[in-house]
Structure 1
Amino acid sequence: MRFSREDLVGSVFIAFGVTLFVGFFYAAIVSKLLPPYENSLLAAIQNDWYYCLLVPLTLPVIIVAVYLHWLSMKMFKHA
């Protein structure tokens, strides 16, 4: 069975997405549950609260943006 170039590119995108998800999940949730680190980089990730709150607070903004987009399209269609 041969894989095409598109299959390879798709697999790379999926692997990249999974890697980013695992990294974010570690930074946002897992690192807060572990004991304090001695490594300065890992301690900075553990003490950072920005990324922990970024995704949950992005969801209401997306909902408002989708609603405003829908509303503007309705006004455009009926104008």
Structure 2
Amino acid sequence: MRRELLMGVAFIAFGIVLFVGFFYAAIVSKLLPPYENRFLSAIQNDRYYCLLVPLTLPVIIVAVYLHWLSMKMFKHA
């Protein structure tokens, strides 16, 4: 039981870290003044990766629906 709890907490922490990082790259960095650091400046000027995750969500929804539909058709064929 202890190991499962530890893995669950690790997954939640990993998800929170990814969410905060994405939120910073997609929204917060665009609102801040320009950076001197090249890495942070590249994140701030990015126009591709900041939209990649939000636009992936509709594609996942369609894929899940098509998977569900195909399984229903297979079961009732």
Q: How does the TM-score come out when normalised to structure 2?
A: 0.83
Change (3 A) 1:60 1:17: closer
Unaligned runs of 5+ in 1: none
Q: Give TM-score scaled by structure 1 length.
A: 0.81
CA shift, 1:73, in A, is 1.0
What are the residue-to-residue correspondences of 1:27-42 with 2, within 5 Å?
A: 27-42=25-40
Count residues in correspondence: 77
Shift of 1:30: 0.3
Instruction: Compare 64-73 and 10-19 and name the one that shifted more.
Output: 10-19
1:17 to partner: Cα distance: 1.7
Query: 1:11 deviation in Å?
Result: 2.4
Unaligned runs of 5+ in 2: none
Q: Within 5 Å, which residues of 2 pair with 1:15-54?
A: 15-54=13-52
Q: Does structure 1 residue 67 correspond to structure 2 residue 65? A: yes
Is 2:29 the partner of 1:12? no
Give, in angstroms, the shift of residue 10 of structure 1.
2.6
Amino acid of the structure 2 residue aligned with 1:41: F
